[in-house]
Amino acid sequence: MTATNEQILGLLEKWFAALKDCTNPETVTALYAPDAVLVPTLWNGPCFGQKAIRNYFEAEFLPARPEGYLINYSISSTGNVAINSGHYVFEINDIKAIEADPTCCSAEGRAKKRVKKNARYTFVYNKIGEEWKIVAHHSSKMPEEHSAEAIRWVKSDCIVA
């Protein structure tokens, strides 16, 4: 049975929620198939398999305490495969700014060092048994920093308000 758009958007929301568990990379890694491929935003090369994916999240992305939200999307699904591509935004700690300013060790000081990063993404999901798993995920920075308003024309029926 083909997944609905709501089901696939639910998988993305589950992924966003897993990222909030910054101290446990297993939470987000468990959403990926054992042989999944991640082409991440913050590393130059792809991550092949859950161990490499876990290493990326543990070493690079989760320490920035990401909080993501969806801007727009396009979903296609057939049978046990679904593809979700679009634009998301992350608010993250600017780790370099925090490391450069040792006086900013309080939670309040760190909150002032948050930045928003726009990225485009593609998730490919495969239903394995009764569970949907991420089998491929590509995320990349926008060529230019666009605001949500600047891209609303892309596909107005899939804008998340």
Q: What is the CATH number of the domain that holds 28?
A: 3.10.450.50
How far is the C-alpha of 112 from the C-alpha of 136, rounded, in Å? 34
Segment 33-36 long-range contacts (CB within 8 Å, at least 24 positions apart): 33/126, 33/128, 33/133, 33/134, 33/135, 35/135, 36/133, 36/134, 36/135, 36/136, 36/137
Task: Please list the rounded mean pLDDT of every run of 10 residues in the chain (161 residues).
Answer: 90 94 90 96 88 92 89 94 95 66 52 80 95 96 61 46 47
> What pLDDT does residue 155 have?
43
**Which domain covers residue 43, as residue numbers?**
5-158
pLDDT score recorded for residue 161: 47
**92 Cβ contact list (under 8 Å, min separation 6):** 64, 65, 66, 67, 114, 115, 117
Report pLDDT for 156.
Answer: 43
**Chain centroid offset of residue 29 CA:** 12
Q: What is the Cα 88 distance to its own chain's centre?
A: 7
The three-state secondary structure class of 23 is coil
Indicate the number of domains in the chain: 1
- Residue 15 CA to residue 67 CA, distance in Å, equals 11
